[in-house]
Amino acid sequence: MSQFLLVVFDGLRPDMVRPDTTPNLLRFAALGTRFTRARSVFPSETRVCSATVATGCLPRRHGLVANRIPHPRDATRSIDTGQMTLLRALEQETGAPLLDAPTLASILAAAGRDFAVYSTGTTGQTYVLNPAADALGQVTLSAHGPEFCSAAGRALLATLEPPPKAPAERAVWIADMWRTRILPNPPAASVLWLCEPDTSGHYDGLGSEAQLIALRAADAAFGRLIDDWQAGPARETLSIMVASDHGHAAISGLTSILPRLTGGPAEGVAVLPGSSCALSWPEATGPRIGELAAWLTRQDWVGSVFAADGIDMPEGVLPRSILLADHARAAPVLFTLRASDAATAPGLPGSTLYDGNLPIGGGTHGGLLPSELHTVMMLAGPGVRTAALSDWPAGLTDIAPTVLTLLGLPGAAAMDGRILAEATDPNASFAATPASESWEAATHGYTQRLARTRFGRHVYIDGGARG
């Protein structure tokens, strides 16, 4: 019976996959198919991406629309989705599930197949991949401790050596654990989520030597996993996909948004900061939404600006729906901070202003730069084409429907993503051809643009920026 493993290198940019940093990822790519036009979703933030991986749906359908979301019952408050305890409290308070779309875990459970999560990401990120793990009797193992695992995950964790405290060492620990303990008898589908090179990029600097050391260590651990996979019987049944959830941009400067709003038109409005930001307030009305969005276009520290659909859209502002994140949980005004595609000191393009606790030179993500949205995606295993490149549009939404198809299970058609058929069929044909879509809005010296690719009913965001 077929099995599937997804290995996520959190925050890995495609231009960091090089012989000197990731020789094992390049070796793996030669064993299968690499997708050269893989994309994240907006906002390009980890928990949003995790929900997309878990459901095969865009944020507008699964509902986890940002790393920090407005509280559904008090728009002056926000919820940090990185904390599992806060997500569970949200579910209890609202009486509704965290995700609005069915998850891979629930679909597999209904088919009598098992699903497991092994993660060194934040406790919230791990939980998002399978919020119903306990109810379904499935394994969720978090390297942050037993209180963040499902019951089945706690039982497994109790048999292991304690996870190291350093994030890079944890990533190696969990990859080696999966290789030695899980590979001999893998679940039908599992996710192995490595926190590197994301954590080191955030705190040690994008492209820094510390980040490269962490990435090389994670790559080496992955190489050991691939060696054992190729040498054992699992090679005949186990398909492996490698993906990153988003990329990174370097922090070029720090800005604090809240003081800029105090005493201005946004007095009393809650700010959800980062590099992708939002404004939220109770009883948001069309005129106030438009006023605040228009004010943002006049600020030199602002990048792109989006407002809820259905209002009298101000000049220079684009509708929130084109971001594919227009859900009831989304704030009425979304914006990015000013960013640039220019190369940074380590030679990696992409930099942005940032509001938060990361250092200048550190990596961040959430916005619309190609360096944040362009991702890594590779697939190898039984029946997968080797040494192949796919130039068809692809993205995080496509992982779940492809998993179901490789496992011979229904459900892919109900998802937003497509089946990556070209990986197994060299003659795969599609009814549609990729079509570029673009939006532009301008006012009083301010211009912004957004680019997407439409591939039949599937849509991928390529990038956006202030002109």
Question: Residue 261: what pLDDT?
Answer: 85
Of 179, 132, 177, nearest in space to 157 by CA: 177
Residue 299 predicted with pLDDT over 90: yes
Which has the minimum average pLDDT: 73-82, 106-115, 142-151, 396-405? 73-82
Residue 189 main-chain phi, psi, to 5 deg: -145, 140
Residue 317 predicted with pLDDT over 80: yes
| Across 291-312, average pLDDT | 96
Alpha carbon distance 448, 294 (integer Å):
13
Alpha carbon distance 6, 336 (integer Å):
30
Taking only the tens place, the pLDDT of each residue in 70-106 is: 988 888 889 999 999 999 999 999 999 999 999 999 9
Residues 6+ apart with CB under 8 A from 427: none
Question: Residue 27: what pLDDT?
Answer: 98
Residue 52 predicted with pLDDT over 80: yes
Q: Domains in the chain and their CATH numbers?
A: 3-249+367-423 (3.40.720.10), 251-363+435-466 (no CATH)
The per-residue pLDDT of the chain, averaged, comes to: 96
Task: Evaluate the omega torsion of the peptide bond into residue 259 and state whether it is cis, within 30 degrees of 0.
Answer: no
Taking only the tens place, the pLDDT of each residue in 195-242 is: 999 999 999 999 999 999 999 999 999 999 999 999 999 999 999 999
Of 119, 116, 95, 97, nearest in space to 105 by CA: 116
Question: Residue 73: what pLDDT?
Answer: 84
Please calculate the CA angle 350-351-352 and round it to the nearest 5 degrees: 135
Question: Residue 215: what pLDDT?
Answer: 98
Structure tokens at 334: 């979304």
Predicted TM-score (pTM) of the model is 0.97
Question: Residue 359: what pLDDT?
Answer: 96
Question: Residue 54: what pLDDT?
Answer: 98
Question: Residue 60: what pLDDT?
Answer: 98
| Across 21-46, average pLDDT | 98
Question: Residue 293: what pLDDT?
Answer: 96
Alpha carbon distance 320, 336 (integer Å):
12
Query: What residues form DSSP beta bridges with 318?
Result: 306
